[in-house]
Amino acid sequence: MAGEIADAVAQFFATDRYFGLSELPVPRAVLAAARRTPARANAGSAATSNAVAPTDKAGRLEVLDLEQVKGCRKCRLCEGRNNTVFGVGSAEARLVFVGEGPGFEEDRQGIPFVGKAGQLLTRMIIAMGLRRDDVYICNIVKCRPPNNRDPAADEIMACSPYLYEQLRVIEPEIIVALGSPASKTLLDTTTGISRLRGQFHDFKLRDPLGDVRTIPLMPTYHPAYLLRSPNEKVKAWKDLQMVMARLGLPLPQGG
């Protein structure tokens, strides 16, 4: 595991050796203790045997996915999709990553962040000392925008209730918003990602009764942008280290 983390950090920064980073910051400890225990495989099975709505988090997410999102036609993005892309990871996650919308590969597989940008996100997660299974990964829209354009305001408005329900179920301690559309949507601002990133913001999660829960949210660069602008990885890594510190995860030496 420690070797895997070192490799992920090294790969994440591979192109940054040219930007003066000779020493790669490698997380010191193995992080099992910092992880939540994985979701119980059978959670809620007793409660669901009478076809009552599941009360466990994984079951509630599954119902939302299968009963509402899979057949959803609330916006025009349903027309071009091959698969809805609901989300992946642990329903008990302390940390949720929110991206923009499915791309070609995500639409084909029905799983978020599995293309090139997704592979970089996976390395970022491993560099934090976590695995994809420890966190939850989803997007602000669940169907692929044609030609990977940004989702339109009305599409985000139609789809975001699903995201908010996912967040109400999971109750993460921290949210990382990847890129401008996710950050602007969740923070309800027009400020760009370069000005938003680098500090925590208050994300206000409302429930249907109007109660508000505040969750700390870190905006950072989208991995697709980092693939195009690898010198910005240093800043993204700083953002992720602030997240790690807040979660109590061991920080890399000298990083």
Using CB under 6 A, list all residues that contact ligand SF4: 69, 72-75, 77-78, 84, 141-143, 155, 158-159
- DSSP characters for 68-99? IITT--SSGGGTT-SS----EE-TT-SEEEEE
252 SS3 class:
strand
Residue whose tokens read 């339109």: 152
- DSSP characters for 18-64? GGT--SPP-B-S--GGGSPPPPPTTTTHHHHTTTPPP-SHHHHHHHI
Q: Which partner in ligand SF4, ligand URA, none is near 159 (CB below 5 to 8 A by kind)?
A: ligand SF4
**Segment near ligand URA (CB under 6 A), from 40-48, 102-110, 167-175, 189-197?**
102-110
> Considering only residues 25, 44, 87, 99, which one is a binding residue for ligand URA as defined by CB under 6 A?
99
Q: Which partner in ligand SF4, ligand URA, none is near 103 (CB below 5 to 8 A by kind)?
A: ligand URA
Of the candidates 194, 246, 243, the one whose C-alpha atom is nearest the C-alpha of residue 221 is 194
Please state, in angstroms and rounded to a whole number, the distance separating the CA atoms of residues 94 and 91: 9
Should residue 103 be labelled a site residue for ligand URA when binding is judged by CB under 6 A? yes
Should residue 87 be labelled a site residue for ligand URA when binding is judged by CB under 6 A? no
Should residue 100 be labelled a site residue for ligand URA when binding is judged by CB under 6 A? yes
CB of 237 to ligand SF4, least distance (A): 31
Should residue 155 be labelled a site residue for ligand URA when binding is judged by CB under 6 A? no
Q: Which partner in ligand SF4, ligand URA, none is near 158 (CB below 5 to 8 A by kind)?
A: ligand SF4
# binding residues, ligand URA (CB under 6 A):
13
Please state, in angstroms and rounded to a whole number, the distance separating the CA atoms of residues 208 and 206: 7
